[in-house]
Amino acid sequence: MTAHLRCLSPAPWPSIVALALSTLLVGCEGASDGDKTGADTGGATDSGGDGGDGDPFSLPAAACGADHAVLPPTGMGALLASERDPSLSLTAGAINALLASQGLAGVFTATYDVETYRVRYQTQDRGQLIEASGFVVVPKGAGAVPTLLWTHPTVGFADQCAPTAVGLEGAAFPMLFASAGFAVAAPDYLGMNGWGAASTQLHPYIVAEPTALASLDNLRALQAVLAGPAAALGTSADPARLIHWGASEGGFAALWTDRYQAAYAPEFTTVATVAVVPPTDLQGLASYGVAGLSPTAAGLAGVLIGMDDWYAADDLLSVLQPGPAASLPVELRESCNDFPTIDAITAIDQLFTPALITAASSGDWSALPDWGCRLAESSLLETIVPRGHDAPVFIVTAEADDLVVAAPTREDVPRLCDAGYDVQYHECAGASHTAGAANSLPVQWAWIQDRLAGRPLSGACVVGAPVECPPLTD
């Protein structure tokens, strides 16, 4: 099972962009002094104290043994600190030259110089105020531009793995999107504070509520940066043109920020959501995870550990064997890519308990009702959280994906449409998890442009045959 947890993110996709930009960044180090601001750097946009239309705020909190209420959004996203990163603030010309040198000129065209900020902001978790971190990346002199919430693929489970901690690879996509005319908020996620105070928890991996709330609050931090440290740049983020976009774990996050937005961040209006190789049905995906050694099995172990920590369940021994239950949480906290416990496993029953294997393979969770509940609660068709808008959703899967197997997501599409979603579905023929995400990037980009232009959606709620997704480069 070597490296299966290391394969949880579509690494070559961000690496393509990182390679294209890395030469320039060496020359840009120290180009100007970083600007740091503290807690009084222009407060967050007023998010209001209700859920819209004057009604008192009310949003269902997680169930399944959790005991808390979701706090009203007033004050959430308040900017606690910001830091401009000169090494990640580039000119459009330099970005275009380097993209062209890597054969990526046809994928994006940089129009604007960009300014990149690391931010720490107020958010909440299980009814308590906490800090979170992320990027805000802004085009210079762009006027009013669409707002983009970029949610990243899996890069690890702890602070040292966060995008704001790793620099270029974490910022590459937000920088590109900003250079094309978006004001970008790019959260690190809870349990992954890339700078500032250390996290006190493990990253709640593929858990809907903490993922959605902390990510949406990064949007408010974006508005606060534009009102404060970046006020002189001549750019504003239009809250009425919000795009949610993410891949892999970030695709999951995009679907859930889309789901929570109307209730939790009603000052924004969602125009469209792009979810690339996302898990939508965790119980369905678990059936593939217990079928044999695979990246899906490793990913399922990560989900179970993150859920056990976030729900304070202390129930890992009902689903993981004693060895992995003891060692894997420690390894996830200590490393971004070195998990010797996973490497040593040679059979699926060395990782998972018979009870989990039986429940997941049969679909009968009656022997593990709490785990069935937790997995269902982070599955779109099972949640009790109302969506509250009808913006279109683009879901991309990969036919040969052995991490987020396409079948459960594909099967969810008509059911999501029956539940009121307007889904356009795109499956990359013969593609792996990574290739499906990367090679469909031009299609994703074009789809977003069509939605922003108000063009009608075609082929909604149709699950067609997989189509060829040509590689970005030869």
- Read off the tokens for 421: 């979603």
Phi first, then psi, for residue 142 (nearest 5°) are -100, -5
Helical residues (DSSP H) of 167-248, grouped into ranges: 168-179, 208-227
Q: How many C-beta atoms surround the C-beta of residue 297 within 10 A?
A: 24
CB 275 within 8 A of CB 396: yes
Phi first, then psi, for residue 259 (nearest 5°) are -70, -40
Dump the DSSP string for 403-452.
Answer: SS-HHHHHHHHHHHHHTT--EEEEEETT--HHHHHHHTHHHHHHHHHHHH
User: Which pLDDT score is estimated for 107?
Assistant: 75
User: Which pLDDT score is estimated for 452?
Assistant: 98
Half-sphere exposure of residue 355: CA atoms within 13 angstroms, side-chain side: 15
Where b means 16+ CB within 10 Å and e means fewer, 440-466 reads bbebbbebbebbeeeeebeebeebeeb
The tens place of each residue's pLDDT in the chain, 474 residues long, gives: 444 444 443 344 444 444 434 433 333 333 333 455 553 333 334 444 444 444 567 798 888 988 899 999 999 999 999 999 999 999 999 889 878 887 888 777 899 999 999 999 999 999 999 999 999 999 999 999 999 999 999 999 999 999 999 988 899 999 999 999 999 999 999 999 999 999 999 999 999 999 999 999 999 999 999 999 999 999 999 999 999 999 999 999 999 999 999 999 999 999 999 999 999 999 999 999 999 999 999 999 999 999 999 999 999 999 999 999 999 999 999 999 999 999 999 999 999 999 999 999 999 999 999 999 999 999 999 999 999 999 999 999 999 999 999 999 999 999 999 999 999 999 999 999 999 999 999 999 999 999 999 999 988 999 999 999 999 876
The predicted model scores a pTM of 0.91
- Residue 359, SS3 per DSSP: helix
Phi first, then psi, for residue 425 (nearest 5°) are -115, 140
User: Which pLDDT score is estimated for 7?
Assistant: 45
User: Which pLDDT score is estimated for 443?
Assistant: 95
CA pair distance 238, 235, nearest whole angstrom:
10
CATH 3.40.50.300, domain 1-312+369-474, yes or no:
no
